[in-house]
Amino acid sequence: MELLSLSPPGWGGNLLRGLVNSLQIAFGAFGLGLVIGLFGAYGKLYGGVVIRDLLGIYTTVIRAVPELVLILILYYVGTDLINKAAEAMGYGRVEISGVVAGIWVLGIVQGAYSTEVLRGAIQAVPKGQMEAARAYGMPALLVMRRVTIPAMMSFAVPGLANLWLIATKDTALLAIVGFSELTLETKQAAASTRAYFTFFLAAGALYLIVTLLSGVVFGRIEKWARRGQPSLRAGQSR
Amino acid sequence: MGLDDNLAQEVGQNTANDAITVTDLHKSFGTLEVLKGVSLTARKGDVVAIIGGSGSGKSTLLRCINFLETPSSGKITVGGEDIEMRADGSPANRRQLERIRTRLAMVFQGFNLWTHRTLLENVIEVPVYVLKIPRAEAIRNAKVLLDRVGLGDKADTFPSFLSGGQQQRAAIARALAVDPSVMLFDEPTSALDPELVGEVLTVIRDLAAEGRTMLLVTHEMKFAREVASHIIYLYEGLIEEQGPPDEVFGNPKSPRLQQFLKTVGW
Ligand SMILES: Nc1ncnc2c1ncn2[C@@H]1O[C@H](COP(=O)(O)OP(=O)(O)O)[C@@H](O)[C@H]1O
Ligand SMILES: [Mg+2]
């Protein structure tokens, strides 16, 4: 058990640092994915032919290729492109922070899924809601901010909750590019001490705790998002 | 009037006596021509009732007036100001259209209240976020309006917890909150259970009596005859007959109108 203690020679501190890194990336990627997803969803619904086709390619390719492969491609191609660009502009090679790279890579993946979740949610909002807003003189962006986005939340939250959980677990894939998130830290701790079982069990428990807490938080968010709708379970009627 | 007079002056700066004029309005959906040249005028205080069979273009007419549908051609004038249009009928000046829309309050057949907001939030939404009226003042106005439509005790309730009649009355309060120069009603009681129709008609009747200008699409012939100053009978996208209620209902000239009145059990 002292293997897990927070201060050396225990490895608990490393595991927690890995967890914090994982959560940071998951959070950033999820947020970036939401932003991409919102633009993607609006682009798919209201964009011109070119935009719709490009977005179609984006969401299809990202969802078709295994995430591990995508991460390798995006990470190496991405860092390569940035360095080429930096050199072209006369800077030397730039050191790319693992967290930032991880957020970008996973964010682009998340964005494809978010696009589909949000597109479906926007389509589920009764048209009359947006129409009333337009009829009363709201400009398009205000309609989006005050009506469409809040009204679609109840349809989007379950799908987004799934995406968040996927984001937390996809951070483990970043181990392959040497980023010290929870899984890589665990592997190192296990290898150094040969206590594989202890450490992977501990890591599994940490992932499980994150999932359980996320469930509570998203449950609250969903309840809030559905505040205007009679509860199905209570059989509340008009 | 249940509203601040300041608000009335801020919102309706029109000086002309005609609240709204529609000139030679055409609208096609693809090859289907739904409006074939409709013209009408409502002066301040007029209640113009629009009647006609299903599919005759009544909703399309109302929706073209505030450009929820883009007219194919024609002209819409609100308080003496033409809505700027391109050659294809699309609005040429977004900001002007948005400003004019705040003076045209629409009441929909399906209510279209914002379901994620309470009644009070629904009523203050446009005053606060579009007209930029201070929130406290908007809330004060909204409470007066909700009281007026008999929903003072439901201010903090969400729309889906209310009956259709209550929702429609709330939608009317939302419309009144912008102190509109013209109210557009599209079959406001058609989605209601029969026993709830009366409570909504009572509210509309009050508004007519206080001199609100309105265009009212309705299937309630008795009501139309009672509150309207002018009746327009629409048939396949054209005005087939119009005039004062007593003439249109008492002595219809067009055989189509006679037939129509018979089918609705007049
Ligand atoms: N968005 C639309 N696209 C195509 N056709 C439409 C659309 N809206 C209405 N129409 C058609 O226009 C005609 C008139 O419709 P509408 O104005 O709703 O009639 P009313 O309100 O008098 O019943 C109908 O034939 C209807 O099918
Ligand atoms: Mg209609």
pLDDT at B55 over 70: yes
Interface test with A, best of B116, B130, B163, B195 (most A CBs within 10 A): B116
Sequence letter at residue A109: V
Q: Which residues contact B224 (CB under 8 A, 6 or more apart)?
A: B49, B51, B216, B218, B231, B245, B249
Q: Chain B within 8 Å of A146 (Cβ-Cβ)? A: yes
Which atom belonging to ligand 1 lies closest to the Cα atom of B60?
Answer: 17
Question: Tokens 């055409």, residue?
Answer: B26
- CA-based nearest distance A171→chain B, Å: 35
Instruction: Please give the average per-residue pLDDT across B217-240, as a whole number.
Output: 96
Considering only CB atoms, B125 lies closest to which of A146, A225, A238, namely: A146
Pocket test for ligand 1, best of B26, B59, B190 (most atoms within 8 A of CB): B59
Q: How far apart are CA B92 and CA B108, in angstroms?
A: 25
Question: Is A238 inside a domain boundary?
Answer: no
> CB–CB of B98 and A150 under 8 A?
no
Question: Is A237 inside a domain boundary?
Answer: no
Question: Is A97 inside a domain boundary?
Answer: yes
Q: What is the pLDDT, as a whole number, of residue B1?
A: 41
Question: Is A8 inside a domain boundary?
Answer: no
Q: Beta strands B18-29 and B73-78: pairing type?
A: antiparallel
Q: How far apart are CA A44 and CA A53, in angstroms?
A: 8
Kindly list the residues of chain B whose beta carbon comes within 8 Å of any beta carbon in chain A. 66, 68, 94, 97-102, 104-106, 108, 110-117, 125-126, 129-130, 158-163, 174, 178
Which residues in chain B have Cβ-Cβ distances shorter than 8 Å to A131?
68, 108, 112
Least confident of A104-113, A200-209, B197-206: A200-209
Which among B102, B109, B215 is positioned nearest to A137, based on CA atoms? B102
Q: What is the pLDDT, as a whole number, of residue A119?
A: 96
Percent of chain B past pLDDT 70, that is, above it, reads 94
Question: Is A60 inside a domain boundary?
Answer: yes
Q: How far apart are CA A234 and CA B18, in angstroms?
A: 52
Ligand 1 surroundings by CB, under 6 angstroms? B 29, 32, 34, 52, 54-60
Ligand (nearest to CA of B31):
1
pLDDT at B84 over 60: yes
Instruction: Please give the average per-residue pLDDT across B111-135, as a whole number.
Output: 97
**C-alpha A136 to ligand 2 mean position (Å):** 19
Q: Chain B within 8 Å of A235 (Cβ-Cβ)? A: no
- For residue B167, count CB atoms less than 10 angstroms from its CB and return exposed for 0-12, middle for 13-18, buried for 19 or more: buried
pLDDT digits (tens, 9 = 90+) for A137-183: 999 999 999 999 999 999 999 999 999 999 998 888 888 777 778 88
Q: Model's pTM, two decimal places?
A: 0.86
B157 CB neighbour count, 10 Å cutoff: 16
Question: Is A132 inside a domain boundary?
Answer: yes
Question: Is A7 inside a domain boundary?
Answer: no
Q: Which residues contact B83 (CB under 8 A, 6 or more apart)?
A: B67, B75, B76, B77, B91, B96, B97, B100
Q: Chain B within 8 Å of A237 (Cβ-Cβ)? A: no
Cα–Cα separations (whole angstroms), residue B188 to B127, B152, B172: 22, 21, 9
Contacts of residues B239-245 at CB distance under 8 Å and 24 or more positions apart, as own/partner, are: B239/B38, B239/B39, B239/B40, B240/B52, B242/B40, B245/B49
Measured by CA distance, the residue closest to atom 18 of ligand 1 is B59
3-state secondary structure of B18: strand
Report the helix count and the strand count for chain A, using DSSP H and E.
Answer: 9, 0
> CB–CB of A134 and B101 under 8 A?
yes
Q: What ipTM goes with this model?
A: 0.89
Q: Which residues contact B106 (CB under 8 A, 6 or more apart)?
A: A132, A135, A136, B62, B66, B68, B175, B183, B184, B185, B186
pLDDT at B6 over 60: no
Identify the domain containing residue A158 by its residue range: 16-225
Question: Is A23 inside a domain boundary?
Answer: yes
- CA-based nearest distance A42→chain B, Å: 19
Q: What is the pLDDT, as a whole number, of residue A176?
A: 78
Rg of chain B over Cα atoms, rounded to whole angstroms, equals 18
- CA-based nearest distance A231→chain B, Å: 10
**B66: nearest CA in chain A?**
A135
Sequence letter at residue B151: L
Q: How many domains does chain A have?
A: 1
Confidence tier at B174 by pLDDT (50, 70, 90): very high
Domain of A44, CATH number, reads 1.10.3720.10
**C-alpha B58 to ligand 2 mean position (Å):** 6
Q: What is the pLDDT, as a whole number, of residue A182?
A: 86
Q: What is the pLDDT, as a whole number, of residue A237?
A: 43
Cα–Cα separations (whole angstroms), residue A14 to A8, A25, B199: 9, 17, 68
Question: Tokens 């439901």, residue?
Answer: B154
Q: How far apart are CA B95 and CA B254, in angstroms?
A: 42
